[in-house]
Amino acid sequence: MPATIAKSTLTFLTDLAEHNTREWFNEHKGRYEAARKAYINFLDELLQEMQHFEPAARGQQGKDLVFRIYRDVRFSNDKRPYKDHFGAYIAEGGRKSVLPGYYIHLAGNNNSFLAGGLWYPPAEQLKAVRQEIDYNLDGFTGIVEAEGFKSRFGALQGEQLKTTPKGYDKDNPAINYLRHKSWNGIMPLPDELVLRNDFLEVVLAGFKALKPLNDFLTAPLREPES
């Protein structure tokens, strides 16, 4: 039977969102550890299945892809000590990779989602992706405007510039995509879906649907082979 997400995991994350204090967390450390372990077990099985279509999943382990639950509050006005979700990023190079990848976000109160694409790349990579979209607009729109993509993820998401990026004309036919600073497909995962026995298949299908976007965004970031 494929790995599933237990209701106790979502209940813990819901309660953590409501009681986000060190005192409460320490009192419920056992619940946290059980929920985290279950999430990692799910990721391990997900990675095994992803290897059939995504080489970046090979050789990776769930425990290495999960982000820390502890928030860095040093420079934030939000002083809550813990994240109210579990998150993991699957990409070539691991969770800190700047390459396009796959993200799964588990949270209570119907706040889970899966996503893919490229998040806030550094300046050189941002420039390279914009150039690729400009050169191959038909290839890009063939992915993000396809009915299969839109039915899962809706319109392409990601923060955009309010102005025209340097080097491009406002009348460029690709301008709406060139303004992006991130290019993301995001699929909401309501609690009812997360708790289903076939949730692993749902995530795999979502990630498979994101692979063409990730492949397009990765191509201009690779070093040319000599």
Per residue in 189-212, pLDDT tens?
Answer: 999 999 999 999 999 999 999 999
Q: Enter the tokens of residue 101.
A: 């990848």
Task: Please state which of the ranges 1-10, 98-107, 217-226 shows the lowest mean pLDDT.
Answer: 217-226
DSSP state, residue 145? T
12 or 76, greater pLDDT: 12
Amino acid residing at 179: R
**Does residue 135 carry a pLDDT above 80?**
yes
**How would residue 224 be classed by pLDDT, with cut points 50, 70 and 90?**
low
- In the block, tokens 């914009």 appear at 130
Q: Enter the tokens of residue 52.
A: 């059939």
Backbone angles phi, psi at 180, to 5 degrees: -65, 145
What's the whole-number average pLDDT of the chain? 95
**How would residue 223 be classed by pLDDT, with cut points 50, 70 and 90?**
low
130: nearest Cα among 170, 173, 181: 181
Q: Which domains does the chain have, with CATH numbers?
A: 7-221 (3.30.930)
Q: Does residue 168 contact residue 69 with C-beta atoms inside 8 Å?
A: no
User: What percentage of the chain carries pLDDT values higher than 90?
Assistant: 91
In the prediction, which pLDDT does 226 show?
41
- In the block, tokens 């796959």 appear at 102
The total number of residues written for the chain in this structure: 226
**How would residue 128 be classed by pLDDT, with cut points 50, 70 and 90?**
very high
**Does residue 81 carry a pLDDT above 50?**
yes
Please state the separation of Cα 119 from the chain's center in Å: 9
In the prediction, which pLDDT does 156 show?
97
In the prediction, which pLDDT does 73 show?
79
Please tell me the distance from the alpha carbon of residue 57 to that of residue 159, in angstroms, as a whole number.
Answer: 27
**Rg of the chain taking only CA atoms, in angstroms:** 19
Number of H helices, E strands in the chain: 10, 4
